Homo-oligomer: A and B are copies of this chain.
């Protein structure tokens, strides 16, 4: 899922997001609740209509942003009180409120409020976060029930926490699996830990989640990380990487990531990635996009974002194809080896 934090996948219009091959996007409850406000979005007909996106939308719970962006946070078992990073106004979120906001937005997939401990975290801190996240998971389902979210065909996903403690991950996953969620996310990864620990957290959670429901690792990752998680049975991802990195000049190729600022691209007539098929690669050279970037032109961000989103989505398309063919393992290993070797 490309990320549309503020109700737009940065620098792309919805038609371009669609052309990238994206089927579903993620948007942020925290940001949209602060600005323009979920009630306003509801009055405008919901987020799909407001932002002109006619595919599914998953919204996160906002919990992660409260921890990373908000000020003067005060949290207890009931909820979280904090100040907006935009205007300092006081905001209160609890599991029911978070469901209400996502209901206002009209999300197709709503995420429960959870507590995401920082990394590294001591065991007692993580134990408490898991306990609280499980309490909130149940309260979220109750709130969703009152709002008729699942009854109307929309979905609610639970989130596994547990940091680097395999037994806490398992315990959390097992408890959530007993609740009537439509899918399960693994949260609290990509918070600064080494990749090995990230994969261990996934390994500790996946076996205890239902086989027949989607599994979603939140906020990851690099192309090799995505493939390594697909190999572990993960079905969904979201990441700002393709669009955020684009704004710093980074683009992805089958031979690794590159930066368009590099002087060697000044007269490079080739496309960003010779194996990609998208508007940026079909119409523009690296030399032109480098010129745009050096000249601080917005179109540089648009073309790099468009390519990067397409690159990630296409990678998942290929993974799906190779799973169906039954050769995902060897294909994936070869893909990663070439990407990391860079030639």
Residues of A within 8 A of B (CB): 6-8, 10-15, 31, 35-36, 40, 43-45, 50-52, 266-267, 269, 279, 283-285, 287-288, 291-292, 294-295, 297-299, 301-303
A10 vs B292: C-alpha distance when bound (angstroms): 10
Cβ B14 vs Cβ A288 within 8 A: no
**Contacts A35-B294, A50-B288, A52-B288; A279 near B44 (Cβ below 8 A):** no
Contacting residues, chain B, for A298 (C-beta < 8 A): 10-11, 298, 301-302
Check B11 against A299 for contact (C-beta < 8 Å).
Answer: yes
A45 partner residues in chain B, CB cutoff 8 A: 269
* Cβ contact of A288, chosen from B43, B51, B299, cutoff 8 A: B51
- Residues of chain B within 8 A (CB-CB) of A303 are 13
Please tell me if the beta carbons of A7 and B52 are within 8 angstroms of each other in the complex.
no
**A50's closest neighbor in chain B, by CB?**
B288
Q: Are B7 and A291 in contact (CB under 8 A)?
A: yes
* Bound-state Cα–Cα, A254 to B299, Å: 29
A303 and chain B: residue at smallest CB distance:
B13
Give me 16 A-to-B residue pairs in the complex whose CB atoms sit less than 8 angstroms apart, sorted by A's number. A6-B295, A6-B297, A7-B291, A8-B299, A11-B298, A11-B302, A12-B299, A13-B303, A14-B283, A31-B295, A35-B291, A35-B295, A44-B287, A50-B285, A50-B291, A298-B298
In the complex, A192→B84 CA distance in Å? 44
| Cα distance A294–B32 in the bound complex, in angstroms | 12
Q: How far is the CA of A294 from the CA of B50 in the complex (A)?
A: 15
Contacts of A292 in B (CB 8 A): 6-8
| Docked-complex contact A288 and B15, CB < 8 angstroms | no
Given A15-B279, A36-B287, 8 further pairs, Cβ under 8 A: A6-B291, A6-B295, A12-B299, A40-B287, A43-B267, A44-B288, A50-B285, A52-B283
Chain B contacts for A267, CB-based, 8 A:
40, 43-44
Chain B neighbourhood of A283, CB < 8 A: 14, 52
In the assembled complex, the CB of A29 is this many whole angstroms from the nearest CB of chain B, namely 15
Q: How far is the CB of A49 from chain B (nearest CB, A)?
A: 9
Contact B269 A44 (CB under 8 A): yes
Please name all residues of chain B whose beta carbon is closer than 8 Å to the beta carbon of A14 when the two chains form the complex.
283
- Shortest beta-carbon distance from A104 to chain B in Å: 14
Rounded to whole Å, the gap between the CB of A277 and the closest CB of chain B is 16
Q: Beyond A6-B297, A50-B285, A298-B302, is A266–B13 a contact (Cβ under 8 Å)?
A: no
Question: How long is the Cα–Cα vector from A279 to B288 in the complex, in angstroms?
Answer: 26
A17 to chain B, nearest CB (A): 10
Closest CB in chain B relative to A106 CB, distance in Å: 14
Q: Which residue of B lies closest to A44 (CB)?
A: B287
- Please name all residues of chain B whose beta carbon is closer than 8 Å to the beta carbon of A10 when the two chains form the complex: 297-299
Residues in B whose Cβ lies below 8 Å from that of A13: 279, 299, 302-303
A36 x B299 contact (CB < 8 A): no
Counting chain B CB atoms within 10 Å of each CB, which of A31, A50, A279, A299 scores highest? A299
Q: Is the pair A8, B50 in contact by a Cβ cutoff of 8 Å? A: no
Nearest B residue to A47 by beta-carbon distance? B288
CA distance A52 to B303 in the complex (A): 12
Measured in the bound complex, the distance between the Cα atoms of B8 and A8 in whole Å is 22
B266 and A297 contact, CB distance less than 8 A: no
Contacts of A12 in B (CB 8 A): 299
Complexed CA–CA distance, A297 and B283 (Å): 25
